[in-house]
Amino acid sequence: MTRFDHDAQPILAELHASLDQRRRPEDIAEVILRADLALEPGEQGLTSRERALLERAAANSGRRRGYATSMSEDFARPIGGARQVTATARLFDVLDGPTAVDTDTPDALMAFAAQVGSGIGWIPGRSDFLADRLDREKRASAGMEVSKRQYNRRFRALRRLEAKAGTLRGEQDKRRLTLLGRSGFAAQITLERFQSHPAAAYFVAYYVARRNMRREFSLSGRGKPFDEIAEMLLRRCGTETDWWMISWVYTTAKVLARLTDTERGQLLGMWSAAMRECADLLEELWERSDFEREDMVVYRGDDSTTWNLLAQAYNTARMSWLDCLEAMGALHLLDVTCPGKVMRLMAYDLVRWHRSTGSDVDPDTLVWARLPLPWDVLNGRTSCTRQQVEMACRRAGITASQRGWTAPRPKRSVPYFQPTPELVHGVTIADPVWASLLRSAGAFSGKHVKPDRGAEIARALDTGVVTGELPTPPEPSGEDSTGRP
């Protein structure tokens, strides 16, 4: 095990904290270099060639260039129930309520509501204002001395607190599944485990940052997260490395071959459970939506944000599940049950851009439209075999195994490191300050540019405050990003 000086522990903690954030790969490379300098004398660190490769990325880090990115470096975090707890505690005269309750935990909110609500006969789950309140006789028999007005105020406060607990739980699940879709189980890695294996920690932190990069608005699709730096960091991991931790974020044959049969089986179960959870949530959203399955174009009123994050989490879990099946020599199980992929909803302006270049609906979307819904397959309501999937793929003009329908996607060449672009709604901007102005003005959002911010942008251009050129977007189609004129 590699040893670090005491002063290096905050550096590794910073690297670990990035696992559930959205730090740029350049910034992570810079932190890795700082952590490596803190190795105890005599310990094996990065070679000069490895450091040179990381230096190429770190040269564009926020710390070295002197200014931060305009893009958020974290995924949205749910707002806790502090406000609701404070209001409820004031009504029930609970002095230490706000300080004694973990307002970021839904179960703690419900426990507090049940505790203070017992004084007025309130029962969790019985919060209907018309059907569940106690009338005058029941309040009198229960020995309540509060007036009807005070009783109603407290009942409403408990009702709001219960609703907040439910909302908070849902938002936390969304964030957890967002992280799952982006970087697997990285957010579940403990600090102690992370610090115990620096070589694995370097790879995990950098690869997670690469996977968390935003999509660019382009026809070429998303770049591969496993670049030359990730390859170098993985190559440094030897036999004593924590391959189990690495497999939580990078489930390839090379990594899975390092695990025991028990670990491979456990990982298969983890991804299977994640796939089923996402499928159940997708089914709920599908039932209350009106998506057009044949083209999966988003229209006004569609909850495309929730659908796309759930679809990405499901597809990530499904692909890792296939990786595990292949590593265990169990792909023949797909002959009996082979749940398909789930397509994301696509903005109509991007669809028009594709069609203007001669492209049409993505072949994967045609396959998705012809197969049984994945949640019906996973819940045993219908069957979908490998043969059905392969037949649908042939009709769409693609090979099932090459597109990840019946096997893990084939590995491709490792790309060179490319600096992280500054993006505003997927459009590359040259300068972070310029990007901030465009984002606050509403540029590229499918909405009208805010008049006050537009004037500020014009003044900035006239005075030369910002630099950088505005990229040429695709030819306007006449519709906004929801697909409506």
Give the model confidence (pLDDT) of 149-193 as tens digits: 999 999 999 999 999 999 999 999 999 999 999 999 999 999 999
For 170-177, which contacts have Cβ atoms below 8 Å and span 24 or more sequence positions?
171/78, 172/78, 172/106, 173/281, 174/306, 174/309, 175/75, 175/76, 175/77, 175/78, 177/277, 177/278, 177/281, 177/309, 177/310, 177/313
CA-based torsion, 252, 257, 259, 264: positive or negative: positive
d(CA 384, CA 307): 22
Measured in degrees and rounded to the nearest 5, phi and psi for residue 454 equal -60, -40
Residue with structure tokens 């906004």?
480
Q: Report the 10 Å Cβ neighbour count for 62.
A: 16
pLDDT computed for residue 479 by the predictor: 36
Looking at the DSSP assignment, which residues form a beta bridge with residue 423? 428
Q: Report the 10 Å Cβ neighbour count for 381.
A: 10
CA torsion, ordered 383, 389, 391, 397, to nearest 10 deg: 150
CA-based angle 230:234:237, to the nearest 5?
155
Please tell me the pTM assigned to this model: 0.86
**Mean pLDDT lowest among 243-247, 427-431, 433-437, 453-457:** 453-457
Calculate mean pLDDT across residues 369-379.
97
Is the pLDDT at 453 greater than 70? The verdict is: no
pLDDT computed for residue 268 by the predictor: 97
Task: Read off the amino acid at residue 320.
Answer: S
pLDDT computed for residue 221 by the predictor: 59
Calculate mean pLDDT across residues 57-66.
90
Residue with structure tokens 């203070």?
116
pLDDT computed for residue 335 by the predictor: 97
Query: Do the beta carbons of residue 296 and residue 274 sit within 8 Å?
Result: no
Query: Do the beta carbons of residue 303 and residue 285 sit within 8 Å?
Result: yes
pLDDT of 112-131, one tens digit each? Answer: 999 999 989 999 998 898 88
pLDDT computed for residue 458 by the predictor: 64
pLDDT band at 144, cuts 50/70/90?
confident
Average pLDDT of the chain? 87
pLDDT of 289-326, one tens digit each? Answer: 999 998 899 888 899 999 999 999 999 999 999 999 99
pLDDT computed for residue 398 by the predictor: 95
d(CA 445, CA 425): 6
pLDDT computed for residue 482 by the predictor: 36
Is the pLDDT at 35 greater than 60? The verdict is: yes
pLDDT of 196-245, one tens digit each? Answer: 998 999 999 999 999 999 887 665 656 789 999 999 999 999 988 999 99
Task: Read off the amino acid at residue 302.
Answer: D
Calculate mean pLDDT across residues 60-69.
86
pLDDT of 315-369, one tens digit each? Answer: 999 999 999 999 999 999 999 999 999 999 988 777 777 677 766 778 999 999 9
Measured in degrees and rounded to the nearest 5, phi and psi for residue 106 equal -55, -40
pLDDT computed for residue 400 by the predictor: 96
Quick one: which of 56, 66, 75, 65 has its CA closest to 17?
A: 75
Q: What 3-state class would DSSP assign to 346?
A: strand
